Amino acid sequence: MGRYTSGTTGLAAAVLTALTLAPFGARSAQAQDASTWTGMRPTLNLFGNAGLIDTPTAHPMRDADLSLTLAYIASPGEDAQDMARGAVNFQIGPRLSGTFRYIVLEELGTTSPYMDRGFDVRYLLAEEGSRRPALSLGLNDLAGTGYYSSEYLVASKTFGRLRATLGIGWGRLAEIGGFDNPLSALNDAFGDRPEQDLSGGLSSGELDSSQWFRGDAALFGGVQYLATDHLILTLEHSSNSYEFEQASLDFDYKTPINVGATWRFDNGLDLSAALLHGSALTVQMNYVLNAKTPTLFPTGHGDVPPALTVRPRFSAADLGWSLQAGDLAQGSVSLDAALQAQGLELVGFGAQGRTARLRYRNISHINQARALGRAARILARHAPHDIDTFVLEPVTDYGVTATRVTLARADLEDLEQAPDGAWQSFARADLDTGFDPSVPVPFTPDFSWHISPYVMSALFDPRADLRYDAGIETGLSYQPAPGWVIAGSTQLRIYDWRDHDVSPSTASQNVPRVRTGAREYLAASRFGLQDLYVSKYMRPGPDLYARASLGYFEHMYGGVSGEVLWAPQTSKLALGAELNWVKQRAFERDLRFQDYDVVTGHVSAYLRSKGGMHYQLDAGRYLAGDWGTTLKVEREFANGIRLGAFATVTDMDTDDFGEGSFDKGISFDIPLSALTGKRGRQSIRGNFRPILGDGGARLTVPGRLYDALRDTRQGRLQTQWGEVFR
Amino acid sequence: MIGIRLGRIAAHVLVGLALSGCASDMSHQNLYDQIPGLWHAITRPGQLPAAPQTQVSSQIKSLHMTLPDQNWSATFIPVTRRDGAVTWQTGSTDAPRATLTIRNGVVIATRGLGDDLMASDTADLTRAKSGAKSATGQRTNRYLRGNGDLQSTIFICDYSRTTEQFIERCTGARTSITNTYGTSQSRQWLGPTLGYVELTFTDP
């Protein structure tokens, strides 16, 4: 579901998706005062950061802004080479932002264009005040090849329509006009910047903090003028003299002065053009989406809760009838249809006395509390009047339940239209873990299948710059009894496109090729079994969950997997442990295996924090037998958008890992409903890794416990409860 | 060169999004539903998708509603009445497309219109309409903003009356609006995205 990219996936895929979805745009400041910068977001520079043209400015983007940049630099002259740049910037919090950037240098590589990748971070030290400028600190090209390494401290101040910026930079931002590093006063070591190994080889990708803020420093700055409420003019003095481009790409550097203009549309799109260093012409497109409110239709359209049927005051209940099982069996046919109309599936339905119990699967609502409210309304419409208590249990895709909600029907009726009804209903509801081994679980076996096209792309493979596959995918899933899942999927490749042929891997021979064999898996056979497994989910205790799985878990590995998770209902913390024994599968992706096998496992801590932040720390043994730790940080929004970054450090030698040195990347999950306003759970999701290596490689297992339970844990339902009547 | 490459990427992303398949359950068919939504949103952003065509019997009271700024209109029928507020609905019973909740002729909430009026505190208006002496009052509209947060917009209003209509003139921090209420017709401002709504009640 939602598998549009996989493996080492394309930045450009998301970027281009954004291009086509540009009209969704960020909500513009519709009523802003057009004669000043108030409420206007900053412009983005050619590197994808808030800035002028080459250099940064101090003002941050708005919290949760996701900014995409595509820029093309055309150098005149026969020998000069053009450059293309793309970047994704995310304002992680009000002060911290990160950028993932790639730069395509056509002729620098040998057989294929060279693609430089890097990360930037910046932090807002001080907001602009009436007297004080905005002040930011930033580091560019971390853990990348180092061609663009620089650090800076920059201040910006607004004067009506004018905005002025002045900063001090190190590294690439100190190539001209440099002076002795003022930080040398603190420590002589700051005076020299260590030579950087720019061979782009095995040492690149490390986090080389030994260079930071060292060497000569230089000043940069500029002004921006808001000519109209759509046109911004920029004049800049840049301390980046493009030395590297002059040497390797015949860049014609004439002057440190850059001039440019930006046209700002109302939907989050900016188009800019600039004259770079007196010789090159640049065009740039930026698109900004705010993850908090990505569309003009935050409440969605066409997805309305059915009216709550209120029981008449004096009804059959007063005659003291109690419900018989037979009465319900007839009712449940239309109950199923009613649930389907609201994007839910019936899993089980039962009643005892005056209590009706409904287990349902939420197929199409991002917000689980909203799905719960819809289920309650449908139950109110179908349950006979003498039922006065509803017990609702959301069941996740793998048949796991985390929470049971008990509501009094009268409370639902009283509070549906009250102004603060949602929170009052929460106070009156009873949420518990639903752990009751003695009560038989109402359950309908579920069988589902699908056939759909798929596309898979790999953009950042260092050995071939762009490749993609398209074909037909089929899948089956069968849940014969509570807690059991049998599932499988296959892929048949129909079309593939590769820019260049495979060249030998840069990965070391010292480590098993646990992930870098990716293209062998694609090349060996058109038809492949992606996964085929059986899993059993258990609840040994109210806060304890367990899973055991056997089979082929992903296209590269199969074996056995076991996991436990301790996830107390209202706690923000969960702890888990997983142990797997897997063998590497044959390249043909059939039922056979290769010789390599490994025991992998991790202990994990999951923390949900305010502001929608999720942290996950895993420690253990990875597929190549290396030991290490992964940290993943993710921000989740109410509309289901999730954006995160991860990094793994293991005891594998960075030389053996290969180019890139350690595993790192960014992850995204953007539900289509957040962009269209129409209900549904399909999303565009994937991971970007600048380089795919064999270190820090984790097994992919379908249906891991925390992911399966994440949305329906009590704490999460509680956070979302405001939507229960929507 | 780069342009061609980017073009191919765009093509494969769009192809991936556009194609769907067959499935036994809803989770995969949801993508199929999203395609018209995506297409509509790309070609006509800022516009609500077309309204459902509801057949309405002439035997019952109905409400015709138009959003002139959105070029959108639909016919609603009453479905529930609670505490003097009537909820009108368009679309089918099990899957309504939009609802309006109206008390004493004043829209106090909408659902399904994309940027809904979540709630509205119009106590002063109700008092003024029913004949109270005061000519000024306050109105609070609530909308969903940011991360599921409710944001209040407060207006200071003054009221006046003609033989046919009751007029509410309000000024807020960024907007000034004028709502008019007649016996069977009214024009009310729903919010910054939807603009004004024109309502016409039809008795059987």
Cβ of A677 within 8 Å of Cβ of B85? The answer is: no
Q: Quick one: angle between helices A368-382 and A325-341, nearest 10? A: 130
Question: What is the C-alpha to C-alpha distance for residues A205 and A657, in angstroms, rounded to an integer?
Answer: 10
Taking CB atoms and an 8 Å cutoff, what residues of chain A touch B148? Answer: 638-639, 720, 722-723
**In chain B, which among 49-68 make CB contacts under 8 A with chain A?**
49
Three-class secondary structure of residue A379 per DSSP: helix
Residues in contact with A146: Cβ distance below 8 Å, sequence separation at least 6, in sequence order: A196, A197, A198, A204, A208
Nearest Cβ partner for B41 among A306, A472, A676: A676
Nearest residue on chain B to A70, alpha-carbon basis:
B6
Beta carbons of B13 and A4 less than 8 Å apart: yes
**Nearest-CA neighbor of A150 among A49, A223, A82?**
A49
Q: What is the pLDDT of residues A461-497, one digit of tens each?
A: 554 456 677 888 899 999 998 889 999 999 999 888 7
Q: What element of type H or E holds A564?
A: strand A557-566
CA distance B120 to chain A (A): 9
DSSP string, A653-685: -HHHH-TTSSEEEEEEEEEHHHHH-S----EEE
Could you give the CA distance from residue B88 to residue A400 in angstroms, rounded to a whole number?
38
- Asked if pLDDT for residue A42 goes beyond 90, the answer is yes
Residues near A10 by beta carbon (within 8 Å), at least 6 away in sequence: A457, A458, A459, A460, A466, A468, A688, B9
Of B25, B46, B145, Cβ closest to residue A298: B145
- How far lies A699's CA from each of A295, A552, B134, B193, in Å? 36, 11, 71, 47
What mean pLDDT, rounded, does chain B reach?
Answer: 80
A415-419, A619-623, B16-20, range with greatest mean pLDDT: A619-623
| Residue B84 sits at the chain A interface (C-beta within 8 Å) | no
Q: State whether A4 and B16 contact (CB < 8 Å).
A: yes
pLDDT at B29: 53
Alpha helices in A203-296 (DSSP H): 243-249
Q: How far is A682 from chain B (nearest CA, A)?
A: 6
CB-nearest to B82 from A1, A417, A499 is A417
Residue of A nearest to B38 (CA): A676
- Lowest-confidence segment of A342-351, A392-401, A658-667 by average pLDDT: A658-667
What DSSP character marks residue A280? E
B1-16: average pLDDT? 51
Compare all CA atoms of chain A with the CA of B26 and give the residue at the minimum distance.
A363
Compute the distance between CA of residue A202 and CA of residue A657 in angstroms, rounded to an integer: 8
The predicted structure's pLDDT at residue B28 = 55
d(CA A417, CA A439): 34
Whose tokens are 């589902």? That residue is A448
pLDDT digits (tens, 9 = 90+) for B67-76: 988 888 899 9
Above 50 in pLDDT, residue B12?
A: no
Return the half-sphere exposure (C-beta side, CA atoms, 13 A cut-off) of residue B11.
10
Among candidates B2, B49, B116 on the partner chain, residue whose Cβ is nearest the Cβ of A299: B116
Instruction: From residue A402, give the alpha-carbon distance in Å to each of A340, A714, A715.
Output: 22, 7, 11
Handedness of CA B34, B35, B40, B46 (dihedral sign): positive
Note the pLDDT tens digit of each residue in A646-670: 999 888 877 777 666 678 888 888 8
- What percent of chain A stands above pLDDT 70? 83
Contacts of B174 in chain A (CB under 8 A): 31
Residue B12 to residue A306, Cβ atoms within 8 A: no
Q: What is the pLDDT of residues A633-649, one digit of tens each?
A: 999 998 889 999 999 98
Residues A460, A690: Cα–Cα separation, whole Å: 6
Find the helix packing angle between B26-43 and B2-18, rounded to 10°: 130
Question: Nearest-CA distance from B7 to chain A in Å?
Answer: 9
CA distance B159 to chain A (A): 25
In angstroms, the separation between the Cα of residue B172 and the nearest Cα of chain A is: 12
The strand order across the sheet containing B62-67 reads: B106-111, B96-103, B85-91, B72-82, B62-67, B195-202, B185-191, B176-181, B166-171, B149-161, B136-145, B119-121
CA–CA dist A188, A182 (Å, integer): 10
Residue A587 has pLDDT above 60, yes or no: yes
What is the sign of the dihedral through the CA atoms of A245, A247, A248 and A253? Answer: positive
pLDDT tens for each residue of A610-626: 888 999 999 999 999 99
**A214, A190 in Cβ contact below 8 A?**
yes
User: pLDDT for B81-132, tens place per residue?
Assistant: 877 889 898 887 777 889 999 998 999 999 888 888 988 888 888 888 888 7
Listed in sequence order, the residues at least 6 apart from A508 whose beta carbon sits closer than 8 Å to its beta carbon are: A653, A655, A656, A657, A658
- Residue A503 one-letter amino acid: S
Shortest Cα distance, chain A CAs vs residue B114, angstroms:
4
Residue A305: closest C-alpha in chain B: B96
Alpha-carbon distance of A583 to A344, in angstroms, equals 38
Contacts of B30 in chain A (CB under 8 A): 343, 363-364, 680-682
Task: Answer yes or no: are the C-beta atoms of B103 and B119 closer than 8 Å.
Answer: no
* Number of neighbours of residue B168 by Cβ within 10 angstroms: 25
How many Cβ pairs closer than 8 A exist between chain A and B? 225
Q: Which residue of A has its CA nearest to B12?
A: A455
* Smallest Cα distance from A103 to chain B, Å: 11
Residue with the larger pLDDT of the pair B7 and A515 = A515
Please, which pLDDT band fits residue A62 given cuts at 50, 70 and 90?
A: very high
Higher pLDDT residue, A80 or A606?
A606
Strands (E), A277-385: 280-290, 300-301, 344-352, 355-362
With the CA atoms of B72, B78, B79 and B80 taken in that order, what torsion angle do they form, in degrees rounded to the nearest 10?
Answer: 120
The answer to whether residue B174 neighbours chain A at the CB level (below 8 Å) is: yes
Is the pLDDT at A291 greater than 70, yes or no? yes
At residue A210, the pLDDT reads 76
Residues of chain B with C-beta less than 8 angstroms from the C-beta of A684: 17
Strand A355-362 and strand A389-395: pairing? parallel
Q: Is the pLDDT of residue B17 over 50?
A: no
Average pLDDT, chain A: 82
Q: Which residues of B touch A363 (CB under 8 A)?
A: 25-27, 30
For the beta sheet containing A430-432, the strands, ordered from the edge strand earlier in sequence to the opposite edge, are A344-352, A355-362, A389-395, A404-408, A430-432
Do residues A485 and A535 touch, judged by C-beta distance below 8 A? Answer: yes
Distance (Å, whole) CA A460 – CA A650: 22
**pLDDT (average), residues B12-16:** 48
Helix count and strand count (H, E) for chain A:
11, 31
For A187-237, what is each residue's pLDDT tens digit? 877 878 876 655 544 345 666 677 788 888 999 999 999 998 899 999 999
> Does B17 lie at the interface with A, CB-CB under 8 angstroms?
yes
Judge contact between A328 and A305, C-beta under 8 A. Answer: no
Dihedral angle sign, alpha carbons of residues A98, B150, A294, A7: positive
Q: What is the pLDDT of residue A225?
A: 95
| Model confidence band, residue A530 (pLDDT cutoffs 50, 70, 90) | very high
B37 vs A648: which has the higher pLDDT: A648
Of B46, B87, B96, the CB nearest to A296: B46
